[in-house]
């Protein structure tokens, strides 16, 4: 089973990915993701609720990031 969503399928809505699933999809640590995000090299996290520390990432943005890493190899 592929972790990449079909981005051309308009019937599949984008969804928010939390930390545990982000780590599974990207295969990088929390610290590495944070460092890359600060440098603008990783999708930005999104605050899930106003006045909250809960964050997540859009699945489509993570999939694009993974695809861009695979293209390098």
pLDDT at residue 13 in the model:
76
The pTM of this model reads: 0.76
H-helix or E-strand spanning residue 64: helix 59-72
pLDDT tens digits, one per residue of 3-24: 555 555 556 679 999 999 999 9
pLDDT at residue 1 in the model:
44
pLDDT tens digits, one per residue of 20-66: 999 999 999 999 999 999 999 999 999 999 999 999 999 999 999 99
């Amino acid at each position: 089973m592929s972790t990449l969503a079909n981005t051309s399928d308009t019937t599949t809505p984008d969804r928010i990915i939390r930390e545990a699933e982000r780590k599974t999809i990207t295969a990088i640590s929390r610290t590495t993701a944070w460092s890359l995000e600060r440098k603008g090299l990783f999708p930005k996290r999104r605050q899930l609720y106003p006045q909250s520390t809960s964050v997540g990432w859009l699945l489509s943005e993570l999939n694009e990031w993974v695809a861009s890493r695979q293209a390098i190899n």
